[in-house]
């Protein structure tokens, strides 16, 4: 099988994302996780639109964010996304965010399940075999 080369996602810190002290407000990192996850899923040919075509949506079940170093206006934050766990029902993404100097500014995880349009849990390995195959092909 072909090796997927996932490109990291870049987010430039916007002025409105900072607080009175000029530091990025902590809530924005969760938004960047979503931006980078959407980009990651597009890169593996599994966009949100394609997921919906397959009959699934992937809500967030939990988020765990660890702040290492502050970022400020105009910083270029490189975000590396990978799949940490997948068991056919839930998926856990790992995020590593670095500044231009290469310092880790934030590490995070988000856990998701898959549900159908009625909100019932989808067992991906049974009900969405093509999605299951894509995910399994890129797990380290």
* Positions marked active-site: 19
> How many whole angstroms from its chain centre is CA 137?
17
Please list, in sequence order, all residues whose beta carbon lies within 8 angstroms of the beta carbon of residue 136, skipping any fewer than 6 positions away: 86
Q: Is 114 helix (H, G, I), strand (E, B) or coil?
A: coil
Alpha carbon dihedral 70, 72, 77, 79, in 10-degree steps, equals 40
Alpha carbon dihedral 32, 56, 7, 33, in 10-degree steps, equals 10
- Is the CB of residue 138 less than 8 Å from the CB of residue 83? yes
């Amino acid at each position: 099988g072909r090796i997927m080369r996932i490109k990291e996602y870049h987010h430039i810190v916007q002025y409105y994302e900072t607080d009175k002290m000029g530091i990025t407000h902590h809530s924005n990192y969760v938004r960047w996780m979503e931006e980078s996850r959407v980009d990651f899923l597009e890169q593996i040919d599994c966009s949100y639109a394609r997921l919906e075509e397959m009959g699934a949506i992937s809500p967030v079940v939990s988020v765990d964010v660890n702040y290492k170093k502050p970022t400020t206006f105009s910083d270029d934050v490189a975000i590396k996304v990978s799949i940490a766990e997948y068991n056919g029902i839930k998926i856990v993404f790992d995020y590593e965010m670095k500044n231009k100097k290469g310092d880790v500014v934030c590490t995070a995880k988000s856990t998701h399940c898959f549900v159908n349009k009625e909100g019932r849990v989808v067992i991906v390995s049974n009900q969405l075999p093509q999605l299951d195959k894509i995910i399994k092909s890129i797990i380290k």
